A and B are shown apart, each in its own frame.
Chain A
Amino acid sequence: MVNPLRLIGYFLWIGKEIVSGTVDIVVALITPRGYSSPMIVQLPLRCTTDLEIAMFASSITITPGTLVAAIAASDGAEDPPTLFVHALFSDSEEEAMDGLYDMEARLLTAMRGKPPRPAVEVFGSGAS
């Protein structure tokens, strides 16, 4: 059940993330080794419907510093839909995945009205 107030709150939070990501890019422009540690992480999703996946992919891409590079569809019961995310300013893979799962939890809380199960619980400890 979509919660309109939470959805508005989510869009405001996305606005805040856009501003902070922009600050990251401006800071990296004037630091010597600014853009030289990109990474592509594999992100299994807790989103299930097409709308949730599309909104999450768009939210990731609109945030400066993260970009959805490829989407793998779910092929049955075992494999969840998976995003491959190009991240520019993360220190480690864990940090990048934690930030993305935090965004997914906020989106799913707004879309479903209740928070999803933690990613560690769903995908095991290797996922986060």
Chain B
Amino acid sequence: MTTVVDVFIAFCVLSGSLLVLVSALAMFRAKDALSRINVFSPATGLGMPLVVLGCYAYTLQQEGFSVYRLLIAIIAFFSLIIVSSIASNTLSRSTLLSGSPVHRYTRPNRLAYAQGEDPREDGAAGGRGFGDAQGETQGDAQDDDDPTAS
């Protein structure tokens, strides 16, 4: 029985920490700020709760049941998930408002269209960012037929 519990604890803690590592590596490979925020959610949404679960099972095995510890574990588990989603929302919103460019392969980019940045729905410049990103991405748009671009 203790072996099963040990394997369970090891699985939770190791897979949780591996997920944090995977998210960190994925952030290196993602192309723009929004994608980096996006690929980070496995760490906070699944990795950290798994570590909390493993730690709670460990203290349960070592020190026995306690309502206080159970309460802490449950609050930590759900707080991590809720805070992760709200923090990601806030981060992505501030990223966009700061004018950070989105990757040029972001297609379709309905947000640029809704802000009046690009009147065409999803033409060649569909991946154009906001504000000062315009000059930066013009050289990269492959078949840009916009007369002002060249």
Contact = CB atoms under 8 A, between A and B. Distances in A.
A64 B96 contact: no
Interface residues of B, number: 40
Contact of A86 (B38, B42, B112): B38
A67 B37 contact: yes
Contacts of B89: 57-58, 61, 68
A3 interface: no
Interface size bucket, A side? 35 or more
A64 B102 CA distance: 18
Given A67-B37, A84-B110, A88-B38, A58 B103 contact: no
Interface in B88-115: 88-89, 92-93, 96, 102-103, 105-114
Contacts of A120: none
A69 B111 contact: yes
Contacts of A84: 110-111, 114
B123 interface: no
Interface stretch (B18-26, B60-68, B137-145): B18-26
6 contacts: A28-B26, A35-B26, A40-B106, A61-B85, A86-B34, A88-B39
